[in-house]
Amino acid sequence: MMSTEQQPIKFPGQVIDTPGGGILSGPIDDVINWARSNSLWPLTFATSCCAIEMMSTAAAKYDFSRFGFEVYRATPRQADVIIIAGTIVNKMAPVLKRLYDQMGEPKYVIAMGACATSGGPFFYNTYSVVKGADHVIPVDVYVAGCPPRPEALLHALIALQEKIKAGTKRERIDIDGNKLIDKRV
């Protein structure tokens, strides 16, 4: 689903891409987005305290499998969303990048807690903390809290589902400096 934006070809008249897709492919895209958003499988990735709140969200009181996050996959090849629960430090950052690269498209990232958002309580005077997981991988949803309540994490998961259903475009810059528009339908 990746295309580089090209110049419209000289034809009688001009061919311009209409945003939002055509009449036939629009509803199909909507169905695909709906299906994708309702069955996201998270990767078991938890570094510190937010892991306990994530485990509480998975347990029976604040069950998140009713939203489709039923199965926790341990291998990144089978996971759709990575919930970064906990602080990322310098030694862990290459591991996180490698896990993210191993996941298959389309993949989403939720930064849970203050540490993954911006370094959190470990922002000042620490020599080993990465001040925010978005220095390493691109993040879709940020959740505030230290640790965030299970309801806050559920709110973030529903926000991610809304984001997927709306159809997103993500801009990336490849290694030669060219801009690529990654159309997520």
Partner 1 sequence: MTNEELINELTTIQPNLVPEAGGEWPNLFVEAADWPKLAQALRFKDDLFFDYLFCLTCVDWKTHLSMVYHLSSTLHRHNIVIKSKLNREKPEIQTVCDIWRTAEFHEREVYELFGVNFLQHPDLRKLILPDDWVGYPLRKDYEDPINMIKL
Partner 2 sequence: MIEEIGTTKEGDLIINVGPQHPATHGVLHLVITLNGETIKKIEPHLGYIHRSIEKMCESLSYRQFIYTTSRMDYLSSHINNHGCAMLVEKGMQIEVPPRAQVIRIMMDELTRIASHVLWWGAMAMDLGAMTPYFHAFRERELINDIMEETCGARLTMNYQVPGGVMADIHPNFQRRVKDIIKQLYKKLPEYDELVTGNTIFKARTMGIGYISKEDAISYGVTGPSARASGVSCDIRKLYPYEGYEKLHFNEVLHTDCDTYSRYLVRMLEIRESISILEQLVDNIPEGDFQAKTKAVLKLPKGEFYTRVETARGELGVYVVSEGGTTPYRIKFRSPGFSNLSALDMMSRGQKIGDMVAIMGSLDLVIPDIDR
- Which residue's CB is nearer to partner 2, number 125 or number 178? 125
**Choices 43-51, 65-73, 78-86, 117-125 (CB under 8 A): range interacting with partner 1:** 117-125
The candidate with the shortest Cα–Cα distance to 38, out of 67, 81, 63, is 67
Backbone angles phi and psi of 134, in degrees to 5: -75, 0
Q: Segment 34-93, which members bind partner 1 (CB under 8 A)?
A: 90-91
> Which one of 125, 173, 176, 177 is in contact with partner 1 (CB under 8 A)?
125
Beta carbon of residue 54, minimum distance to partner 2 (angstroms, whole number): 11
Residue closer to partner 1 (CB basis): 39 or 90: 90
CB environment 40-74: b (16+ within 10 A), e (fewer): bebbbbbbbebbebbebbbeeeeebeebbbeebee
In three-state secondary structure terms, 46 is strand
What does 86 interact with, of partner 2, partner 1, none (CB < 5 to 8 A by kind)?
A: partner 2
What is the per-residue binding string for partner 2 in 69-98, x denoting contact by CB under 8 A?
Answer: ---x-x-----------xx-x-xx--x---
Can you give the binding site for partner 1, defined by CB under 8 A?
90-91, 123-129, 131
